Amino acid sequence: MLQDRFGRTIEYVRLSVTDRCDLRCSYCLPKGFKGFEEPAHWLTFDETERLMRVFVALGTRRVRLTGGEPLLRRGVAELASRLKRIDGLADLSLSTNATQLARHAVALKAAGVDRINVSLDSLRRDCVTELTGRDSLPAILEGLMAAKAAGLAPIKLNMVALAGVNEAEIEDMVAFAMQHGFILRLIEAMPVGDTGREASYLDLQPVLARLTGRFGLQPQAVELGGGPARYWATADGRFTLGLITPISQHFCATCNRVRLSVEGTLYLCLGQEDKIELRPILRSGASDAELEAAARAARSTASRSSAVRVLRISSRNASATVLTWR
């Protein structure tokens, strides 16, 4: 079992399969960003599968395929199928912007992907164009409907709530989620890095109070996917709302995840810089036992929780990258 020095058990790996994305969301990538990894530095599927087998042996039970946009990685359904066959892996999911999902939904379902999260910040075409840098809403909606038809479930909509941008559309998104049986998750943008000045933070606690009063939402004890969201649902179960609130109500004490980048860097926290480069160890001929030892040593010596570090950063530096837990 993999534990950090705070006693938290790590059972969830966010696995980036590419750093490329076909959108340029204002709260995610700085304008003109060129710092992508070269494909030669990317882990191969064989290397990725081997590392995931090591992590499963250490107690990982959930893997989420992410990017960039993971559906831009050629053969991602094949990788999903290989990971799904790892004995001991209980849950395989994928986060996507859905622009490529219409072409891949059936293959992902066949490969064994259990569920998907889709980024959708607005139902207004002009707003989505402004936020993502291109006219992407039609492709996103087509991908969503293809995923629903393919039987991928549950489908969670991830909406980054931004003051003065899309906050007035939250009720419309609730209605859309109800209509299609989707789970809606509202996410607070977290100002850390170079694009923070582009984001308009919205405290979700007043939003929750408003939605609770309107829809009669009740807090849920059930865990949905092992991530940082807290959930509420209507009494009839027709609608479920999740909140991810790294600022107004942080979740560091219960964090159970690490992130592996496409080039093999293991990030021990989504909100700080502790990391270990696994690719050089992997390509030097290390045994699985040596890889396990490296992961254990890195996690057990990780520094302070992200809440302390990130809140200090955001309080003294308004020009931070917006981190969103998707």
What is the rounded CA–CA span in Å between residue 238 and residue 234? 6
Determine which helix (DSSP H) or strand (DSSP E) holds 319, and give its type and residue range.
none
> Counting every residue, how long is the chain?
326
Q: What is the mean pLDDT of residues 56-75?
A: 96
Which of 1-10, 167-176, 289-298 shows the lowest mean pLDDT across its residues? 1-10
CATH fold for the domain made of 12-323: TIM Barrel (3.20.20)
Q: What is the predicted pLDDT for the residue at 229?
A: 86
Biggest CA–CA distance in the chain, Å, is 59
Identify the bridge partners of residue 14 per DSSP, sorted by sequence position.
64, 259
CA–CA distance, 103 with 253 (Å, rounded to integer): 39
The predicted-structure confidence for 16-62, as pLDDT tens digits, reads as follows: 999 999 998 888 876 666 666 778 899 999 999 999 999 999 999 99
Cβ pair 226, 62 in contact under 8 A: yes
Assigned token pair, 134:
């291109």
Interatomic CA distance for residues 11 and 37, integer angstroms: 27
Single-letter residue type at 127: C
Domain extents in the chain: 12-323
Instruction: Assign 9 a pLDDT band (cuts: 50, 70, 90).
Output: confident
- Nearest Cα neighbor of 157 from 215, 246, 97, 69 is 97
DSSP assignment string, 224-253: SSSSS-EEEE-TTSS-EEEEE-TTTS--GG
pTM: 0.87
